[in-house]
Amino acid sequence: MQLFKNLFSRPLSIQLTVTSSNGFHLRPVAQFVNEAKSFECSVEATFHGKTVDAKKVNTLLSLSLEKEDTFTLTIQGKEAEKALKVLQTRFNTLMQDDKEVVAIEKESASYDGEVLDGDIISKGVAIASTYLYKTEEIQHNNTLSFNAAITQTRKALETQGTDIALAQKALLVSLEEKSNSLETLEQNIHKEIEALQGTKLFAKSVDYQDILQQVKKALGLEVKITFPSEKFILLADDLLPSEIAMLANNTEVQGVILKETSINSHTAILLRASGIASLIADTSKIPLDREILLDSFAGLVVLTPSSDDIEKAKALQEKTNVQKAHSASKRFDTVLTPSGKQIKVLANVGDIQSAKIAKDEGAEGIGLLRTEFLFKSVKPSLQAQTDALKEIFSTFDDITVRTLDVGGDKALPYIDIPLESNPFLGLRGVRLFRTHPEILSEQLHAIFVASKGKRIKIMFPMVSNVDEFRKAKSFAQEVAKTHTIDIRNIDFGIMIEVPSVLFLIEAFNEVVDFYSIGTNDLTQYLFAIERTHPLLKVDELSPVVFSALETVVKQATKPVSICGELAANTDAIEKLINLGLTTLSVSPKSVAQTKETIRHV
């Protein structure tokens, strides 16, 4: 009995390295903490001699982990071994999915007037008088207690449902555990902001300020922002993420210049999403209440624009507006290359929201439906899967569904996969049919029911040989037979991401209905470099990659599409089309731009 207790008390440790250029910031930290909380064990993170509770967002953020920082994760308790495996893979996935926000390349421009250089947040041109950000506090009658105000703020953030709002909610949950009044909350927030001073994560301090302001509002203390009724360019040290929507939707703002933010802050992310021309520059050098010119294509503020400067900017403004309107107006049009070849542009989606965005952006179908969104910390029921899939299937006529793809860098607490020394080469993708048939059986059942006779493509991930495909398809047919479902409307195909398939195309031609090339994993396996590796990187534009794609296209006798990130790379699209690929599947927000690029290859 004592030995049994000792096994539970023995701590397990692993070293994790931050590979994202954005650092281990609020959004991924919030998701990591949420995962850690699901296990009955303690989870601690240690960096530079400081150890914190990794089940709390604010304490984990306080380590200020930046790119290439390596910290130790120590887990102790009942579910320690399981937690270690899941959290390791979850961390790697977060690092991989956290795309680097790179500095936007400045275009060349010359102006007569005095100019101030800055860093680009969002491209555009603005000509208007400057206006300094100002607020005033208004105290309304308050009937809420502090705890009720916290609860109301939490629910409001949850209702918003965005990644940023949910991350702020997780941050608030961590803060409220040690705050019993507005005063203590404010003190704790100031301490957390001070801890971020001097780090690349300091830009995230606006999220703390945003939370505080929202709690104050729930307590009746409104921070009112005043804006002019005419067109203006806003000058501010920084803005709160919650202020961007109001600025974009309810004012005549033409541009924004901020002094203290960074290009990867939540404020910057939301400014880009809103399409407001924005720049980071020293606002103290910009005159107030005077007309200036903001050219965030060139990363310049023209402090004393001449009449020629104004005319030049207006011409650029008009050209930009015409291009945007042109791309937007043609996003639903059939796409033809200059030579007249028709190319289909589909979307990679991961939930109903992204499917709706894809529809609005002009996608012609779903080339990759990642079903992992259904499989979170709690196993979904058959009904929940069916309902979600029905809603997505109603959005398009052309839909390709990928069966559950976990393992490697993606883990789930209720799918028990033994700890592997190299999970990218272990139990993942189609190999789950062998180890977890009950999960796949229920998923296939849900797909069949949700399709209601509509033609749907099902593709199996990580297939490495013909026998694997045959067994997976036979398994699916048995599921249909068991539930007496006619699946003549279902096509079956494979993701091409394992190099062995490149040598087996002729054999696969005899059994599959279609192919979809997943260039992300295919590139990883071609070069034997893990996608989440902190130091080694692969050139996705390497001739080796295009040679592999050419092999597939030339030998395949069934339809071939491509759904990896390469499909949206403007430097690759012409090469892909010249190889003979006629179906590209990209992220929803890349659809219109991809279509426009195709029209000019």
Question: Is 103 part of a structural domain of the chain?
Answer: no
Q: What is the predicted pLDDT for the residue at 1?
A: 44
- Which residue in 285, 314, 288 sits closest to 233, CA to CA? 288
Q: What is the predicted pLDDT for the residue at 450?
A: 97
Please list the ranges in the chain whose pLDDT falls under 50: 1-7, 408-410
Global pTM value = 0.60
Distinct helix (H) and strand (E) counts, the chain: 21, 23
Catalytic residue among 25, 266, 436, 445: 25
Residue 219's domain comprises 136-224
Give the count of domains, the chain.
4
pLDDT tens digits, one per residue of 92-143: 888 877 776 667 788 999 999 999 999 999 999 999 999 999 888 888 888 8
Q: What is the predicted pLDDT for the residue at 322?
A: 74
Instruction: Look up residue 426 and give its two tokens.
Output: 């272990």
Q: What is the predicted pLDDT for the residue at 426?
A: 66
Spacing of C-alpha 228 from chain mean position: 35
Last residue of a domain, one of 204, 224, 244: 224
Q: What is the predicted pLDDT for the residue at 414?
A: 59
Q: Clarify whether 436 is annotated catalytic.
A: no
Domain identity same for 539 and 420: yes
Residue 220 C-beta-side C-alpha neighbours within 13 Å: 9
Domain identity same for 368 and 408: yes
Q: What is the predicted pLDDT for the residue at 321?
A: 75
- Which residue in 106, 27, 534 sits closest to 264, CA to CA? 27
What CATH number corresponds to the domain at position 21? 3.30.1340.10
Domain identity same for 130 and 143: no
Q: What is the predicted pLDDT for the residue at 515?
A: 97
Burial code (b: 16+ CB inside 10 Å, e: under 16) for 537-553 equals ebebeeeebbebbbbbb
Question: Is 353 part of a structural domain of the chain?
Answer: yes
Domain identity same for 501 and 517: yes
Residue type at position 78: K
pLDDT tens digits, one per residue of 188-214: 999 888 888 877 677 778 899 999 999
Domain identity same for 427 and 523: yes
Domain identity same for 442 and 558: yes
Tell me how far apart the alpha carbons of residues 329 and 173 are, in angstroms, rounded to a whole number. 44
